[in-house]
Amino acid sequence: MRMPGLISIVLAAGLAWGAPALAQNEAAPAAPPTQAAAVPAPAAASAPAAAPAVADPTLDAQGKPLLKPAPTIGQPQDRLFGLQEQVTPNGRDAHWFHNWVLLPLIIIICVFVLILMIYVVVRYRRAANPVPSRTSHNTAIEIVWTLAPVLILIAIAVPSIRLLAAQFKPAPENAVTLKAIGNQWFWSYEYPDHGDIKLTANMLKEQSEVPAGQRYRTDADGPRLLATDTRVVLPVGVPIRLVATAQDVIHSWAMPAFWIKIDAVPGRLNETSFIIEKPGLYFGQCSELCGARHGYMPIAVEAVSPEVFAQWVASKGGTMPGAGAAPQSATAAGNDASAEVSNASEAGPVVNATAAPTVTNQPATQNPAGLGQTGN
């Protein structure tokens, strides 16, 4: 009776002694994957280092804007009588129309009516006409004051309609697309043709309005209530397609120096186009009452040369349209694969060489979603 008990004790001791070794052996296979994972490390280390990021050409080494605002361009001017200097073709035409058509015509009409009133008051006063005139009509005067306004309106309509049509002219294919999105109460922007660059622009507050260490407005940023922490960068001499929309309520993207004012409506895309002719810094504001902080939605646009714009796009991680290699079509891929097979055949026998082009072209012929198919 003692032998089985002794045997049991010996077996239990043996199992207890062998358990750690068994556990170590079971855990041992986990080591090879770690070593295998470490093998590619030298290859990764030998890979060329990533190219450094392109510096933003609009900022200095401290991240501050290089371009300073000009006091007479692109912003309101103290004691200015008239419109801002226009830097777009439509703006120049509208400025001319305002200065040389509307203003002279309004002045002429007002002066003419004033002269007529003075003449009537003096000529037909009671002292000069004790007996009131009984004139009821004059055919010549009726014809004149009917035809004259008609001719004036026709003369105004010609440049007016031409300017109106130019403002709604669609942008050409090579236009730079800028999407402006109104929010309560800031603007966000997208460049869908340049790698989907996204920006957010908020108004810069005064130094007394922000905590210590936080960025505040300086004269280098722009005028009070117009400077933003992020500027929209657009090229000069290139058509710009402006698409406006909103996230919450109706806003309005207005840039006086561009002769642009377009409503940003939630759920709707409004579009206009323009060409900036002069480099510089231009300021605008939201021009549609949109809530309590409507007056704190400024717009800052920095117009640069196309070369600087391309560098700015690269600094934001975007790409210029057509700059990268064109995507390889399925047909081209199949032709390349066929050429490789042909070259390989000349070099020596290839196993299942004819199957390569078929595999390459297969995704182009498949239609898993059933697109373009019609059912009975």
pLDDT of residue 26: 38
pLDDT of residue 280: 94
Quote the pTM value. 0.67
Q: Report the DSSP beta bridge partners of residue 187.
A: 182, 201
Which ranges of the chain have pLDDT less than 70? 1-53, 323-376
Closest CA to 299 of 284, 280, 289: 284
List, for residues 128-159, the tens digit of each pLDDT value.
888 887 878 889 989 998 999 999 999 899 88
Domains in the chain, please, with CATH? 176-315 (2.60.40.420)
E-strand spans in 113-224?
176-183, 186-191, 197-201
Amino acid at 34: T
Quickly count: other Cβ atoms within 10 Å of residue 79's Cβ: 4
Residues sharing a CB contact under 8 Å with residue 169, sequence separation 6 or more, in sequence order: 273
pLDDT of residue 373: 40
For the residues of 356-373, what is the DSSP string, one character each?
A: HHHHHHHHHH--TT-TT-
Closest CA to 274 of 292, 299, 256: 256
pLDDT of residue 168: 87
pLDDT of residue 36: 38
pLDDT of residue 278: 93
Whether 325 and 333 have beta carbons less than 8 Å apart is answered as: no
List, for residues 76-131, the tens digit of each pLDDT value.
888 888 889 999 999 999 999 999 999 999 999 999 999 999 998 998 888 888 88
pLDDT of residue 8: 52
pLDDT of residue 9: 53
CA atoms of 5 and 1, how far apart (whole Å): 7
Which conformational region is residue 318 in: left (phi greater than 0), alpha (psi within -120 to 50 degrees), or beta?
A: beta
Using the structure block, give the residue that is written with the tokens 């009776």: 1
pLDDT of residue 288: 94
Q: Reduce the DSSP state of residue 48 to 3 states and report it.
A: coil
Using the structure block, give the residue that is written with the tokens 């001791």: 13
pLDDT of residue 81: 84
Residues sharing a CB contact under 8 Å with residue 279, sequence separation 6 or more, in sequence order: 236, 303, 304, 305
